[in-house]
A and B are shown apart, each in its own frame.
Chain A
């Protein structure tokens, strides 16, 4: 069965600090990988996704993620966070073949202090 692990449940950073959120998954096949963000009071939005090709994926708002197949990881990064990045971030994985459901990690709550 698929599973997703997000190691950091809460992260507190100051503005301009660099961000890296860990995501590891367990799945015995080819996967599609996603990062979603949920701003306070808003719905889940897609930040970025990886299906194939270049393992370094760039998303919206300056976020990027790197797929490292050998480590089953898809960590999210941003070189310099802003107060507006305060949100909850969810990593999700889905098998690549046929219809496969999205499996979410438990989320990381990021608080950026001004």
Chain B
């Protein structure tokens, strides 16, 4: 099956700094990538959808200037949390889909802790 990786798996940063999370599709071309956030004991909440070479589409309530998404190639998307604060601490998960777009393949997630 299709494999999606995320790096790093865990990151701890100080308040006010920025953190970049990478999402890669390893064995297929991901025309669309999705970024989710998962709070403890809660569901995955879609933050934004990005198509390769286009600006990301953000969900209502998600600050695009805080969560910068870049999808520069068919195998790589990045999420940068700018000026992170403790309330940004969460589990961030990316997924990717190919041309068929019917299925999303999920990465293993990145645990962000902001101190």
Contact = CB atoms under 8 A, between A and B. Distances in A.
A36 B4 CA distance: 15
Contact of B43 (A32, A42, A45, A105): A105
A43 B43 contact: no
Contacts of B45: 104
Contacts of B93: 43-44
B82 interface: no
A46 interface: yes
Interface stretch (B11-19, B72-80, B101-109): B101-109
A7 interface: no
Interface in A8-57: 9, 32, 36, 42-46, 49, 51
A9 B107 CA distance: 23
Contacts of B102: 32, 49, 51
Contact of B49 (A45, A101, A104): A101
A46 B43 contact: no
Most chain A CB within 10 A, of B4, B34, B108, is at B108
A45 B106 contact: yes
B106 A49 contact: no
B106 A104 contact: no
17 contacts: A9-B41, A36-B106, A43-B4, A43-B106, A43-B107, A43-B109, A44-B44, A44-B93, A49-B102, A49-B103, A90-B43, A90-B44, A102-B34, A102-B46, A104-B45, A106-B42, A107-B42
Given A44-B106, A105-B43, A107-B42, 16 more contacts: A4-B43, A9-B41, A43-B93, A43-B107, A43-B109, A44-B93, A44-B95, A45-B106, A49-B103, A90-B43, A99-B101, A101-B34, A101-B49, A104-B45, A106-B43, A107-B43
